[in-house]
Amino acid sequence: MAEKTGKILAVDDNTDILFALKLLLKQHFEEIVTEEHPEKIPDLMENGNFDVILLDMNFTKDAISGKEGFYWLDKILEIDPSAIVIFITAYGDVENAVKAIKKGALDFVNKPWQNEKLIATISSAVKLRESRLEVDDLKQKQSGYKAIFDAPFGDFIGVSPGMQKVFSTIKKVAQTDASVLILGENGTGKELVARSLHKNSLRSDEIFISVDLGAITETLFESELFGHVKGAYTDAKGERAGRFEIATGGTLFLDEIGNLSIPLQSKLLTVLERREVIRLGSNKARPIDIRLICATNMPIKQMITEDKFREDLLYRVNTVEIQIPPLRERTEDIPLLASHFLKIYTKKYKKNIREIGSQTYKKLQQYHWPGNVRELQHSIERAVIMADTNVLQPFDFHLSSGGGKVDEVELENYNLEEVEKIIILKVLKKHHGNISNAAKELGLTRTSLYRRMEKHDL
């Protein structure tokens, strides 16, 4: 037997009705709370998180107009705007039903009710409550970004001409609903561009949903993006909204869109053209209202010529195209980015590291950075964790040899002062910053090595 879920509050001035409801509903739902005095609704809601509230429309003060029911509906929604309320009354009519739903009730049930229909209505309401709470939670998490992002474009920063062009494009298109395609290598910050577009848009107070299409299997694509109904497939034990529905009103970011197969591209194109989704296992169309942003690190236009990507889908997703330059093409941004990450990780790991040494900046700028900004960020984090001094030195960074030929470039300079500095750096790197071992190999005392390091600003 499936585990019972759902906490139900039933409010009616007829104790026989409450008894009958409790007797019926306790077989299907986790907890049933009954109350004959509507004045106690605020206290009950404060002390209990109810999934569904069954509310009598007519109490003894006013038996047939429904005014009391509407009054308490307003109070309930004032306390919890996402509350699910179902009116229940013996004097229902079409006019009151329409009015109830317009004022925020989910549904309207007449007494005497049909048991199966009432249970089905409440079960659907419980699932809707779960979906609303999920959306509210995502919105709450999303609002946290505003406190984190101090710069105009959040963590996405740079002074290079290439980045200034990106920022300019963001400013121009952010407050439109134009679809945007972001192109760039892995680690360049495509999701940060998407978040910047959302943050500066007219939808900034709404939800931002990010989906990594490369991580979704073909079999789960429709379920994850479009949702499913109970029984749509083996493990579909309940009804669930897809990412398109959850993102309605806000922004949907589809990362790695180039990874989609042609059949999945066709399904995505259909949804974008019709502006509606049909949950897997259902035939009911549900309208969507999203701002679409896509991204890929693949040569999407070349893929079209190779029949690996639909040209009509490309037209749908790239009203505006933003190309993010790789870090190796904007080396002037490296000191700014490194300093930014240093502040983040010194605070996170509670390390007293004041700055990054000038020679360290030089080393970072000479490196090729195949992993782009993400690699730089991880390198700064590791250096902060492992550093023993309050200034990050070149030997604090262990960069892969494939990333650049820093050592060979440096040795082309035979100035004795520079040669001494390079040798000290090499030995310190060899011994992973251990001063005693480095001094021993150099034939110096620890004090002498410290003096030379200070002289060379290491």
3-class DSSP assignment, residue 222:
helix
What phi and psi values does residue 150 have, to the nearest 5 degrees?
Answer: -95, -35
Domain regions of the chain by residue span:
7-132, 169-324, 329-455
- Do the domains at 7-132 and 329-455 have one common CATH topology? no
Give the separation between CA 433 and CA 183, rounded to whole angstroms: 39
Given a cut of 70, is residue 213 above it in pLDDT?
Answer: yes
pLDDT band at 323 (very low <50, low <70, confident <90, very high): very high
Q: List Cα–Cα distances, 410 to 300, 331, 456, in angstroms.
A: 39, 18, 15
129 or 253, which is more confident: 253
Mean pLDDT (the chain) is: 84
80 or 310, which is more confident: 310
Return the pLDDT at 148: 36
Q: Which residues pair with 89 in a beta bridge?
A: 110
Give the separation between CA 324 and CA 92, rounded to whole angstroms: 60
Q: List Cα–Cα distances, 308 to 299, 302, 319, in angstroms.
A: 10, 9, 20
Given a cut of 50, is residue 219 above it in pLDDT?
Answer: yes
Q: Which residues of 232-250 are buried (b: 16+ CB within 10 A; e: fewer)?
A: beeebeebbbbbbbbbbeb
Burial class (CB in 10 A: 0-12, 13-18, 19+), 450: middle
CB 457 within 8 A of CB 356: no
Q: Which residues of 138-170 are buried (b: 16+ CB within 10 A; e: fewer)?
A: beeebeeeeeebeeebbbbbbebeebeebbebb
How does pLDDT run across 92-108, given as a tens digit for each residue?
A: 566 676 777 887 888 88
How does pLDDT run across 362-379, given as a tens digit for each residue?
A: 999 999 898 899 999 999
Return the pLDDT at 358: 87
Return the pLDDT at 128: 86
359 or 148, which is more confident: 359
Give the β-pairing of 251-255 and 208-212: parallel
Given a cut of 90, is residue 245 above it in pLDDT?
Answer: yes
Given a cut of 90, is residue 381 above it in pLDDT?
Answer: yes
> Could you confirm whether domain 329-455 is CATH 1.10.8.60?
yes
Arithmetic mean of pLDDT, 294-321:
94
CB 76 within 8 A of CB 45: yes
> Could you confirm whether domain 169-324 is CATH 3.40.50.300?
yes
Return the pLDDT at 237: 75
How does pLDDT run across 115-128, given as a tens digit for each residue?
A: 988 999 899 889 88
Q: Which residues pair with 450 in a beta bridge?
A: none
252 or 231, which is more confident: 252
3-class DSSP assignment, residue 320:
strand
Q: What is the CATH number of domain 7-132?
A: 3.40.50.2300
Q: Which residues pair with 55 in a beta bridge?
A: 11, 87
pLDDT band at 264 (very low <50, low <70, confident <90, very high): very high
Burial class (CB in 10 A: 0-12, 13-18, 19+), 36: middle
